[in-house]
C-alpha cells in the first residue's frame, strides 16, 4: 500500500487561492499477533510492516534474534502481522500488558523503569569527527522522499562514520527506529558500534531502544528531553541534538565527537 | 515542578566550540488513578497535571462533566493524580484496558473504531476569515514560552475568532490538547463553536478528541494524516493544515473559512 494519499485542498494565501492536490501521509493500523495472541495495534506508515513488527517485538523484549522466529506472515491489506516464535513467551506478553496499560501518548513509566534496569552501559570506543556528523546529517535530510512529499513523517537511519546503511520513515518516530532495528534483526545487519540518526525528539523510550542495540552515538535533528540526557549519561551513550545549520549540541559523551582534538583546542 | 531542566552542553559548529547551558524540556511520568484503579501513566510536561488528568479522562470517555467529580488529589512530587467520581465507571475502565492494549506509539485501531462510531457530526455554522486565521496563528506562535526556551514541546490553544482563550503546552501533542479540554471542563469554559489550534500533526486520535468537544474548526501548523482528513470530512469538521508563512491548506469544510467570498472569487 502506498504510504501517501492525495486529497484535493484549497491552498489559500492572503492574496490568492487555488485548488491543489495535496499529498498526505497515510496512517495505517497494524495489529501484531505473537503466537496467536493479539499484542498491540500500532498506527504507522503502511510500508515495511515485517520490519516494524520484528523491530517492535525486539524493542519490547519478545525477540532477541532471528533464530527465535519460526514464521512471519504479513497481511498488508487487513493490517496484520502474525509472528510465531520457537518458544512461547507468554510470560513476556503479560509483561507487555502491564507496560502498555501504563502508557498513553508515549510509553509509560513502568516500561521506562523496567527497561532502565535491563539496559547495559554501552562501552564502544567508536569516535566520529564534527565534519563527519554534519556530512551524515546532510545525507540523512535528503534521504526521505516521503517527508519531502508530505512533511508528515519521521525518519531514522543506521549509519557508520561515512555512510547511511539502513534508512526508514514512518508517521511515528518510534516506528521509524523499530523499522531500522527490525530490518537489522531479519537481515543480520550488525548494530553495535554504529550510529542512529533520527528526525524526532529524543525521549527516554528512544534512548532505551538504542541502548538495547549497543549503539554508542545517537544524533537528532530535534531536541532531547531531560530524561533523554540523563539516560544517555547513565548508559555511556553520546547524545547529539539540535543538529541544524552546521550547529549541534553535544549533551553527553562528547569525547566520541571531539576526538580530532580540534574541539578541545577551541575550548581552551 | 519546573517544565525545563538545564544541562551543560558543548555547542559545536564547523569553526567553533563553546560550553553552554541548554534548556531542555522535562519529561515526567504521571500516573492517573480513577476510583482507586490505576488507569494509565502518561509521559508529560510537569505542569497543570490536574487539567491533564481531567482532560485525558474526558477524552477517553470516563468523564462527561465536572459534576461527576467528587474529589481530585494531585501529588506533583510523586507524579500521581487521584480522581474519584460520583459513579464508579468500572465498565469503562475495562474498555480503556481493551483500547490501550491495542495501542503503541499512538493510540490503537480499536480506540479509533469505537470513538469513530461514538462521535457525532459537528453542525456549527461558525465561520472565520482567512485574515483572522493568520492573525490567530501569529498570536499562537508567540504564546509558548516553553517552546521558545526548549524547542521541545507542542502547543495547543482554544480560540474564538479573535482571541486565544486557553493555551497550554506539553512534550506530547495529545497531552497539550487534553490539558486544554481539562481546564475547560474544570472551569466551565464552553468549547462548542470554538477553534482548536495545534502545533502538532493531525491524526485520527486528535480529530476524535476535538469532535467530542463539538469543535467545528481545527487548525494545525503541521500536516494532517489521511485519516485526519477522512474523519474531519465525515464529522463535518473544517481542517486547516500547514499554516506557515501566510499560506494554508484547507482540506475539509472550506465554507467555514471562505465565508467572506474572497476565496470563491479568486477560484472562479
Homologous superfamily of A130-267 = Cytidine Deaminase, domain 2 (3.40.140.10)
Among all chains, which residue has been given the C-alpha cell 499477533?
Answer: A33
How many CB pairs below 8 A link A and B? 254
pLDDT computed for residue B16 by the predictor: 84
Closest Cβ opposite residue A29 in set B14, B109, B229: B109
- For residues A37-76, b (16+ Cβ closer than 10 Å) or e, as one string? eebbbbbbbbbbbbbbbbbbbbbbbbbeeeebbeeeebee
Closest Cβ opposite residue B266 in set A17, A29, A227: A17
Backbone conformation region of residue A172, classed left if phi is above 0, alpha if psi is from -120 to 50, else beta: beta
pLDDT computed for residue A96 by the predictor: 56
User: pLDDT digit string (tens) for A164-208?
Assistant: 999 999 999 999 999 999 999 999 999 999 999 999 999 998 999
In angstroms, the separation between the Cα of residue A27 and the nearest Cα of chain B is: 6
Ranges of CATH 3.10.20.10 domains, chain A: 28-118
- Where are the strands (E) in chain B, listed by range? 4-13, 17-25, 28-34, 37-44, 69-75, 80-85, 154-159, 164-170, 195-198, 217-220, 238-244, 247-252
Cα–Cα dist A31/A27, whole Å: 13
ipTM of the complex: 0.86
Name the catalytic one among B44, B105, B159, B184: B105
Fold of B28-118: Ubiquitin-like (UB roll) (3.10.20)
Cα–Cα dist A250/A99, whole Å: 31
Closest Cβ opposite residue A203 in set B27, B222, B229: B27
pLDDT above 80 for A265? no
Cβ-based contacts of B37 with chain A (< 8 Å)? none
Nearest residue of chain B to residue A32 (CA atoms): B102
User: pLDDT digit string (tens) for A136-160?
Assistant: 999 999 888 888 888 889 999 999 9
A28-34 and A37-44 beta bridge pairing: antiparallel
In angstroms, the separation between the Cα of residue A262 and the nearest Cα of chain B is: 9
Backbone conformation region of residue B27, classed left if phi is above 0, alpha if psi is from -120 to 50, else beta: beta
Ranges of CATH 3.40.140.10 domains, chain A: 130-267
pLDDT above 90 for B101? no
Cα–Cα dist A227/A225, whole Å: 5
- Contact across the interface for A10 and B267, Cβ inside 8 Å: yes
A184 flagged as catalytic = no
Q: Are B141 and B129 in contact (CB under 8 A)?
A: no
**Per-residue confidence band for B149, with pLDDT thresholds at 50, 70 and 90:** confident
In angstroms, the separation between the Cα of residue B20 and the nearest Cα of chain A is: 9
Q: Which SS3 state, helix, strand or coil, does residue B167 take? A: strand
Nearest residue of chain B to residue A31 (CA atoms): B102
Q: Please, what is the average pLDDT of chain B?
A: 86
The mean pLDDT of B33-38, rounded to a whole number, is 91
Amino acid at each position: 500500500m502506498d504510504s501517501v494519499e492525495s486529497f484535493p485542498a484549497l491552498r489559500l494565501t492572503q492574496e490568492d487561492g487555488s485548488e491543489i492536490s495535496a499529498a498526505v501521509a497515510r496512517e495505517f493500523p497494524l495489529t501484531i499477533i505473537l503466537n496467536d495472541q493479539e499484542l498491540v495495534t500500532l498506527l504507522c506508515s503502511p510500508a515495511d510492516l515485517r520490519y516494524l513488527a520484528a523491530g517492535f517485538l525486539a524493542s519490547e523484549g519478545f525477540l532477541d534474534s532471528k533464530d527465535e522466529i519460526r514464521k512471519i506472515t504479513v497481511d498488508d491489506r487487513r493490517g496484520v502481522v502474525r509472528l510465531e516464535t520457537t518458544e512461547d513467551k507468554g510470560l513476556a506478553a503479560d509483561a507487555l500488558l502491564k507496560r502498555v496499560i501504563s502508557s498513553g501518548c508515549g510509553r509509560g513509566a513502568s516500561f521506562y523503569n523496567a527497561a532502565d534496569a535491563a539496559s547495559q552501559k554501552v562501552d564502544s570506543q567508536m569516535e566520529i569527527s564534527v565534519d563527519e556528523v554534519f556530512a551524515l546529517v546532510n545525507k540523512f535530510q535528503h534521504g526521505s522522499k516521503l517527508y519531502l512529499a508530505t512533511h508528515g513523517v519521521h525518519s531514522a537511519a543506521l549509519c557508520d562514520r561515512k555512510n547511511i546503511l539502513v534508512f526508514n520513515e514512518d508517521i511515528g518516530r518510534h516506528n521509524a527506529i523499530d523499522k531500522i532495528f527490525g530490518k537489522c534483526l531479519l537481515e543480520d545487519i550488525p548494530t553495535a558500534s554504529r550510529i542512529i540518526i533520527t528526525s524526532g525528539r529524543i525521549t527516554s523510550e528512544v534512548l532505551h531502544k538504542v541502548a538495547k542495540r549497543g549503539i554508542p552515538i545517537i544524533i537528532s535533528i530535534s531536541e532531547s528531553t531531560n530524561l533523554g540526557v540523563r539516560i544517555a549519561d547513565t548508559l555511556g551513550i553520546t547524545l547529539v541534538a539540535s543538529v541544524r545549520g552546521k550547529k549541534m549540541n553535544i549533551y553527553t559523551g562528547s569525547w566520541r565527537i571531539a576526538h580530532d582534538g580540534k574541539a578541545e583546542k577551541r575550548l581552551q
